[in-house]
Amino acid sequence: MASVQVHNLHSKLSSLPMADITRQFLNYLTVEAGLSENTILAYGRDLLSFAKFCQSHRINSLPQVQPEVIYRYLQFMAGKRTIADTINEAIAAVESVGQRILKVSTAVFGRFLKATRMALVRVWTRYGGGEQPCQREDDAEINRAMGAVKGTSRRFLDVSMAALARFLQATRAVLSRVWRARGKIGDRSKSEASINRALVAVKMLLRYAKMEGLVEDDFSSVLEGAKPWQKLPMIYSQQDVIKLLKAPCPADRFYHRDKAILELLYATGVRASELAGLKISDLNVKIGYLRCLGKGNRERVIPVGKAAIAATVEYLHELRPRLAKEFSGDFLLLSRTGRPMGRIEIWRLVKKYALRAGMPANLSVHTLRHCFASHLLAGGADLRSVQEMLGHVDIVTTQIYTHVDQQRLRKIHKQFHPRP
């Protein structure tokens, strides 16, 4: 699924400024840097948004990208839009439609001229240079020639009128967009994390362009993003998680698979993409562990509890043989068509059972990952072991879970504070 999305992303980039260098950069991240498809997709989407912004501001080459342009783009993402930004964006849309109309009209008019020339050549040949007298059959030949010219001119007129109608429709839409923008400045604001990620994508593109000798400076020393607030992850109690794990009903068509998915997510704390990529050979049900590839293709081994093992074995015996097809391969989790499940399908499945269990709508796959880490620390696990199981490169990322467990904080305060 991700590979298809990356291909579609390349197609969208082809009509935008700096398309070639952006595609080369994404290929570099894939081949040389060895980043995952989901990471490539995230970089590509951010650079696609930046390319659209550059197009609306008539920036067509990478050397034109200066720090003020990048900061203007960050302000645009933060919602600090002006009417001028909206007008520029709208004019770019009209110009794009106009260019397409001009291209189509030029092609049709070329066919019109070709038909006219062929008709005149045919008449001239028939009359032998105009020296022979006009006969009755010559009138028929002239009528056929003129009929061809009239037919082509009529098609040219129809296409031109249709193109003009599309142009007027696009202009009307642009004017409506500008009118609606009055008083709605800042209604497209992105989070600080999204803005910083977009800045990183642009900086990496400039760094690659400098490495290739396409620009003289990548402005790394002057481009800084906003420092995001540290947000505590959403954690649910063990009772709430148990309620979610019991949400699948035995009457459900894919009960065994769905139960195994929920159990594995909570028992191992894996990401949705990691779970989707699991193969049967990655799971050892006798010893109780699984092997998965995380970000940057880093491999890690995670213990699996008895409940998750039992649910997975039941799925392997009861349901997977009926779902498997010749093209299913060794993938553990299969969809109803026999194809490997994608991370989006797993995300939707968790949402479905969260609503069935009466839990908040913002509960996601990553919420179960947060619960896995927090409940381990609450049970007495050391931070280094939790870091290994989560696959965090930096232990600072794991330390955020130590601020979540209120009971643990009260216990530490009571034990070590000098006054009771």
pLDDT string in tens for the chain (420-residue length): 566 777 788 888 888 888 899 999 999 998 888 887 888 888 999 999 999 899 888 888 888 999 889 988 888 887 755 555 556 666 666 666 666 666 666 676 667 667 766 766 666 666 555 545 445 455 566 566 666 666 666 666 666 667 666 766 776 676 666 656 554 444 456 777 888 899 999 999 999 999 999 888 888 777 776 666 667 788 899 999 999 999 999 999 999 999 999 999 999 999 999 999 999 999 999 999 999 988 777 899 999 999 999 999 999 999 999 999 999 999 999 999 999 999 999 999 999 999 999 998 889 999 999 999 999 988 889 999 999 999 998 888 898 887 666 666 677 767 777 876
Distance CA 310, CA 270 (A): 18
The pLDDT assigned to 184 comes to 47
Q: In terms of CATH architecture, what is 238-416?
A: Orthogonal Bundle (1.10)
Specify whether 370 is catalytic. Answer: no
Burial class (CB in 10 A: 0-12, 13-18, 19+), 229: exposed
Backbone phi, psi, residue 283, to 5°: -110, 125
Distance CA 78, CA 226 (A): 11
Specify whether 343 is catalytic. Answer: no
Q: Three-state DSSP class for 246?
A: coil
The pLDDT assigned to 187 comes to 45
Which residue is catalytic, options 343, 369, 370, 375?
Answer: 369
Which residue is catalytic, options 23, 190, 392, 408?
Answer: 392
Q: Three-state DSSP class for 57?
A: coil
Which residue is catalytic, options 256, 271, 320, 343?
Answer: 271
Which residue is catalytic, options 122, 295, 300, 356?
Answer: 295
Residues written for the chain = 420
Backbone phi, psi, residue 334, to 5°: -120, 150
Global model pTM greater than 0.75: no
Distance CA 106, CA 345 (A): 47
Identify any residues that bridge with 303 across adjacent strands, giving them in sequence order. 289
The pLDDT assigned to 400 comes to 85
Copy the structure tokens of residue 37: 């498809």
Specify whether 295 is catalytic. Answer: yes
Q: Which amino acid type is present at position 322? A: R
Which residue is catalytic, options 190, 210, 339, 366?
Answer: 366
Q: In terms of CATH architecture, what is 2-81+189-211?
A: Orthogonal Bundle (1.10)
